[in-house]
A and B are shown apart, each in its own frame.
Chain A
Amino acid sequence: MNSEEIISYLPYSAPFLFVDKIVSVGAKSITGTFRFDESLDFYKGHFKENPVTPGVILTETMAQIGVVSLGIYLVKTEGGDLQHVQIVLTSSEVDFYKPVFPNETVTVKSTQEYFRFNKLKCYIELFNEKEELVCRGKIAGMIKS
């Protein structure tokens, strides 16, 4: 599966799609990027006169690339039906180290901890363009097709 194919199966669209490109994907890991354009709506209010990417949005970006995109790849590999794929977030535990400002591009790297009984749990790191660690943590979801 290539980047466009994986993104086409994602159940999100703008303004809530936080995946631009899947750089690499395999059974155990995935890497993807997203650019936070300054025109994104939440910058108007987070914060007043001081736009910073909200932590929940960084967590969502980690989940969309690290769990959902990897999950779609894994379901496809196992011969599942991607037209009816259902995904729910079940847990997230993330620590934050640096802010992400408008127009920055981030890279998400995710490694599978396990994918069993429809539950995918991953260790995920998000880096900025200077390759500095912005946030990291464990996110899990249930994926059914």
Chain B
Amino acid sequence: MRTNEQMISDLKEIVKPYIQNQHGFDSLTEETDFINDLKINSANLVDVVLDIEDKFDIEIDNDSMDKMLNVKAALEIIETKLSEK
């Protein structure tokens, strides 16, 4: 079982190649918004989700994709999908 800190650190590693705002990335918290705070574009948000699928061995559906807008929502979706396994 991963701790919340480990999950955030895994997520940071995943979003790193796609961010356009280093300050937002350095001060990343659960409240950080992928698009507004990290300036990730919608095409790269797809890559983030595909990398999350690979990292955690889960499948993200369209509904979850639509909700995946910030770190908190991403963590919740990952946890839900992991618990369904």
Contact = CB atoms under 8 A, between A and B. Distances in A.
Nearest to A141: B43
Interface residues of B, number: 10
B50 A140 contact: no
Interface residues of A, number: 10
Contacts of B47: 119
A119 B18 CA distance: 15
Interface majority SS (helix, strand, loop, mixed), chain B: helix
Interface majority SS (helix, strand, loop, mixed), chain A: strand
A117 B62 contact: yes
Contacts of B44: 90
B65 interface: yes
B49 interface: yes
A91 interface: yes
Nearest to B68: A117
A74 to B, nearest CB: 15
Interface string A117-145: 11100000000000000000000111000
Interface of B: 41-44, 46-47, 49-50, 62, 65
Interface of A: 90-91, 114, 116-119, 140-142
